[in-house]
Amino acid sequence: MAAEHNPLPVPSADTTDARVDRSDTVSALERGISVLRSFSEDRPLLSPAELARITGIPRPTVNRLVATLVAMGMLKASPAGDRLALGPGVVSLSRVFLGSLDVRAVARPVMQALAEESGASVYLAVRDGMEMVLIEACRPRSTMLSARLDVGSRAPLPNSALGRAYLSALDDATRAQLFDSMRLMRGPEWDSLAPAMLRAIDEAQRLGYCLSLGEFHREINSVSVPLVGPGNEIMALNGGGAGFVFPEERLRDELAPRLRAVAGRIASEIGGHVPGPRLPER
């Protein structure tokens, strides 16, 4: 399930939800966050010139933002001194965020049990911009054939099962707004991504789950179900692994029902719900 990125793609921070009114936002803060979001597992070290290219922010402004973020502990210089990496201040913030998610404490035991019983890697994710970010990850202890994802890893909305399950649970207006943002971000690539995504969303709404068969990470197949928390925050629960271990038939017949059952248990514990399949219109 690991994405194949372009060397320096535009990060999701610059293409988050379409905003109707930005008059109450602080542009300097937005730019600083854009700089932080430029870093990823694929790009742990970046130079100021690369940050300017990724974010589209002028180089002099990037230099000032970098100096401020370094002073605040959010960035640090690499040992060579010519590049930057995320600093310890980011880690402390992420710990606070993850610690506030009670759903993780509820979800982990049942996710780990499913991973052990099925041999699948099992993930729980929330949306951040145009991607899903993992907030919990469980793998079977008995196998090495698992996707190399962990807490904090990201999956794109349109071609991952996690993203498609999330999109299926949105109201029509919000989903259409995200489609517009993704279309702008993906450019010509959108026309090849959209048809499979739309089919998967329709399937999720009819069956309660959707698939990604080698579309996010080649040779990895997975199934996801949406999960709605007590405050209507939408998450997605995912299971899968190597395609030859989890062919489509096994995902549908075995893993999807078990994943929905686990999602139901988590939802009942936190006061949320799992969206049910929509009945066909008459």
List the structure tokens of 186. Answer: 């993906």
Cβ atoms < 10 Å from Cβ of 2: 16
Cβ atoms < 10 Å from Cβ of 40: 18
| Residue 10 confidence (pLDDT) | 42
For the chain, the structural domain boundaries read: 12-87, 101-270
| Residue 277 confidence (pLDDT) | 74
Q: Hey, what CATH topology would domain 101-270 get?
A: Beta-Lactamase (3.30.450)
**pLDDT tens by residue, 15-44:** 444 343 455 667 888 899 899 988 887 788
Q: Is 272 in contact with 169 (CB distance < 8 Å)?
A: no
| Residue 147 confidence (pLDDT) | 57
pLDDT, tens digit only, all 282 positions of the chain: 444 344 444 444 344 443 434 556 678 888 998 999 888 877 889 999 999 999 999 999 999 999 999 999 899 988 877 899 888 888 777 767 666 667 888 899 999 999 999 999 999 999 988 889 999 999 888 765 555 677 888 888 888 999 999 999 999 999 999 999 888 888 888 888 889 999 999 999 999 999 998 888 888 899 999 999 887 889 999 999 888 889 999 999 999 999 999 999 999 888 888 987 775 554
| Residue 25 confidence (pLDDT) | 62
**pLDDT tens by residue, 112-139:** 999 999 999 999 999 988 889 999 999 8
| Residue 115 confidence (pLDDT) | 93
Residue 131, amino acid: E
Say yes or no: domain 12-87 is CATH 1.10.10.10: yes
Positions of E strands within 7-83: 75-77
List the structure tokens of 146. Answer: 């698992």
Q: b/e per residue, 211-249, with b = 16+ CB within 10 A? A: bbbebbbeebbbbbbbbbbeeeebbbbbbbbbbebbeee
| Residue 146 confidence (pLDDT) | 53
Q: Which residue has the tokens 């959010």?
A: 74
List the structure tokens of 84. Answer: 């930057």
Q: Flag whether the pTM goes above 0.85.
A: no
